[in-house]
Homo-oligomer: A and B are copies of this chain.
Amino acid sequence: MPSQKEIEAMVPLSRALELVDGMRKAFYSSLECEPVPVQRSLDRRLASGVSARERSPRFNMSTVDGYAVRPADGYPLRIIRDVYAGDRNKVLLGKGETVYVATGAAVPAGADAVLKIEDVVAEGDLIVSGPSPGQEKNLVYAGSDFEAGDVILEKGAVIGPPAICVMSAAGVEDVPVFRRIRVGVLSTGDEIKNGMVRNCNAPMVCAMLQRWGCDAGNAGAVPDDAGETKAILDDAAGRFDVIVTIGGISVGKKDYVVSTIMDGGEVVFKGYRLRPGKPLLVSYYKGRPVFSLPGKPTGSFTSMELIVKRFVLGDVRQPSVAVRLEKDVGVNAGDFEHVVYVKLGHSTAVPMGYKGSPLELFPGPQYRVSLVSSSTRAIVADGYFLARESMKAGDEVIVTLL
């Protein structure tokens, strides 16, 4: 355990992300992988690159309905047969011969182009005139998508529908993906344990983890008690790959998460210069990465979105949009970044603050729910931007979309 003075505390967001990226790299380097059938691989993360088992297309394929012709052949051409998509017969084209090929059909050996049916003049089984053969190809060559052995997907890629299409075309049946990360979500506080306050954070956190492809499970609720806090953390470390705790990380007399981790774990950083969410504690406990979120939904949601998502998904492209602020945003001076949730208008962003915060109040009775919890604000929020200083209506902001 590092001594207190070695602990990084109240780090800037950039440093927090750097530390989380390091944790992420170490974590994935030891995460097991498993094979899954391509058709059930949606949203899984590739544990290694994927190579084509066979080439695509498998044969020279016509892209039009028309007549396959040899290079440098002239008219007239005799139509010797019709070939449709799915016809397996091997046809070899002789001099002065052509075949009708439907879209998707195999172009006969010897042919190098397909004349569109509408561009030629046919008389009986003869084509008497048409464009100069070879001017337009109208075919795709075997292997022009990829050859057998070509790498078609890189390690670490998250599998989307197009990747499933390509792997299917490449004859790939099973694909090696990282095992789903098991995350235990642990709630703290007498008020949660005894039901005086409803546990709204844990279901939200589980849902976010589920969106990111994790197996999220409830690891239980623990009252404000040092022994029970340690017992439930020990239990979670044995059952889960990663632990998320909620609440109990302030400086209050009854906050036991921090002290338990300081005693038995290894702090990565304690607090970061971001509001909301600044008390976030990131650590290892019995070798498991632990993200300890503040108890207010506002801080929980924000730290999940900025920090835990980064750990799980990495530095992925976040859809964003540049818009003008519709109202002033006042934030406290100082070396903090502020996550400002906004509702997007046509090309403007309305900031969503709450009473008592340095942000301006978002207007309208339908947003009363915004007064306390940012997670409820987030129901109507379209995204957020980061503010280091107060801003004026009309300023441009880059809104990261939720």
List the interface of chain A (C-beta within 8 A of B): 38-39, 42, 56-58, 63, 65, 84-88, 102-104, 106, 136-138, 140, 144-146, 150, 152-153, 160-166, 168-169, 171, 189-194, 196-201, 203-208, 210-211, 223-224, 250-254, 295, 297, 301, 317, 319-322, 344, 356, 368-369, 371-373, 375-379, 381-382, 401-402
Contacts and interface: CB of A to CB of B under 8 A. Distances in A.
A376 B145 contact: yes
Contacts of A144: 368, 371-372
Given A84-B252, A137-B356, A162-B375, 13 more contacts: A56-B372, A84-B253, A84-B254, A86-B189, A86-B192, A86-B223, A160-B379, A162-B377, A164-B207, A166-B373, A169-B376, A319-B320, A322-B322
Contacts of A379: 152-153, 160, 162-163, 166
- Count of identical protomers in the assembly: 2
Nearest to A399: B319
B210 A146 contact: no
Contacts of A344: 317
A88 B368 contact: no
A165 B375 contact: yes
Contacts of A193: 86
30 contacts: A39-B203, A42-B210, A56-B198, A56-B372, A58-B197, A65-B251, A84-B252, A85-B254, A86-B194, A86-B196, A86-B224, A102-B254, A140-B372, A145-B371, A150-B368, A152-B379, A160-B207, A160-B379, A161-B204, A161-B205, A161-B211, A162-B301, A162-B379, A164-B207, A166-B369, A166-B375, A168-B198, A168-B200, A168-B204, A319-B319
